[in-house]
Amino acid sequence: MRRISIVASLALVAVLTLPSSASAARVRAYRGETSAGTRIGFQIRIDERGRMSMKDLTFRAELACEDGSAIKYWSGWSFGGAGLRLQGRRLTFDHVFYSEALHVTGTFRARTADGTFENTWASLTDAEDAQLCTTGELTWTADKVSRRRVVELGPHGGIDLVHRVHDGAVSSAVTDGWGQGFAP
């Protein structure tokens, strides 16, 4: 009888020391709007120690160009591994590459988030003169939503850009907004 109770006690200790699903990493989704009225969404991973990282960023943007034209597009960013680590609850994401600069900051709380957003592209006019196109610095606010609702920001008939970041390397794909790919 003593042997059975020792085995049962050891089994109970083993079960109690296994990580529970409550302590496993979880993902919160946030969906909101910029001060320009365009959509923005995030998926924020929270690990078992409460550390936050950005797994996904999606947004629609309209950039105003110096010649009076506009560029409308949708962009999705996906971060591999644990994601882009936040400093506590604060996000700072700066991507500057050749002809594009994207700057996103934010503070994420249990049910809401807010921050700033700015995207600038170098572009050519119809006469092939260089110009800048930018959103200007915008503010954004977002609410926690189900993860499924964040992807509703997707394709809209403009340009779609999809970026994947893994180990610091960025791979990108461009489509025409209807799922038809073409070379960037």
Provide the residue range defining the domain that includes 39. 24-182
Residue with tokens 């296994």: 18
Establish if 16 belongs to a structural domain. no
Query: Tell me: the pLDDT tens digits for 130-170?
Result: 999 999 999 999 999 986 555 454 444 455 555 556 556 66
Establish if 139 belongs to a structural domain. yes
Residue 68: pLDDT band by 50, 70, 90 thresholds?
very high
For residue 148, count CB atoms less than 10 angstroms from its CB and return exposed for 0-12, middle for 13-18, buried for 19 or more: exposed
**More confident of the two residues 55 and 165:** 55
Work out the number of other CB atoms within 10 angstroms of the CB of residue 27: 15
Establish if 69 belongs to a structural domain. yes
Rounded CA-CA distance 168/46 in Å is 20
pLDDT at residue 10 in the model: 36
70, 64 Cβ separation under 8 angstroms:
yes
Residue 174: is its pLDDT beyond 90? no
Query: Tell me: the pLDDT tens digits for 108-129?
Result: 999 999 999 999 999 999 999 9
Establish if 9 belongs to a structural domain. no
Q: Is the dihedral of CA 145, 86, 39, 156 positive or negative?
A: negative
Establish if 160 belongs to a structural domain. yes
Q: What percent of the chain has pLDDT over 70?
A: 67
Establish if 63 belongs to a structural domain. yes
119, 15 Cβ separation under 8 angstroms:
no
**Least confident window among 17-31, 41-55, 152-166:** 152-166
Work out the number of other CB atoms within 10 angstroms of the CB of residue 163: 17
Establish if 14 belongs to a structural domain. no
DSSP annotation string for the chain = -HHHHHHHHHHHHHHHHSPPTTTS-EEEEEEEEETTS-EEEEEEEE-TTS-EEEEEEEEEEEEEETTS-EEEEEEEEEE-TT-EE-BTTEEEEEEEETTEEEEEEEEE-SSEEEEEEEEEEEEE-TT--EEEEE--SEEEEEEEE-HHHHGGG---SSEEEEEEEETTEEEEEEE-SSS-EE--
Rounded CA-CA distance 146/31 in Å is 9
Mean pLDDT for all residues in the chain? 78
Please give the tally of structural domains in the chain: 1
Establish if 12 belongs to a structural domain. no
